[in-house]
Amino acid sequence: MNLRADDTFVEDEGWHRASGHYMEFLHRNQDGKIAFLELGVGLNTPSIIKYPFWWMTAQNLRAVYACINYEEAVCPKEI
């Protein structure tokens, strides 16, 4: 389990390196065709994945947002 619930969350050098690659990818593709695929994200910490995906989808008319979740598969009607 890798949740920000206690001190077992993995945020080491590798995590920061991967985060940098992810941010570079988002920057390079911010205006292109992109699919934001959200898998199993609930409302425990929506500001980490869910809300940024919604915002980036709303900002890019060529973006698509898809959510796969048993109980919380929702999104704003604007996207």
Give 23-61 pLDDT, tens digit per residue.
999 999 999 999 999 998 888 778 889 999 999 999 999
pLDDT at 37: 96
> Which of 40, 55, 52, 35 has its CA nearest to residue 2?
40
User: Which among 11-20, 40-49, 54-63, 67-76 has the top mean pLDDT?
Assistant: 54-63
> Can you say whether residue 40 is alpha, beta or left, with left for phi > 0 and alpha for psi between -120 and 50 degrees?
left
Q: How far apart are CA 40 and CA 60, in angstroms?
A: 23
pLDDT for residue 1 is more than 70: no
Element (DSSP H or E) covering residue 51: helix 50-59
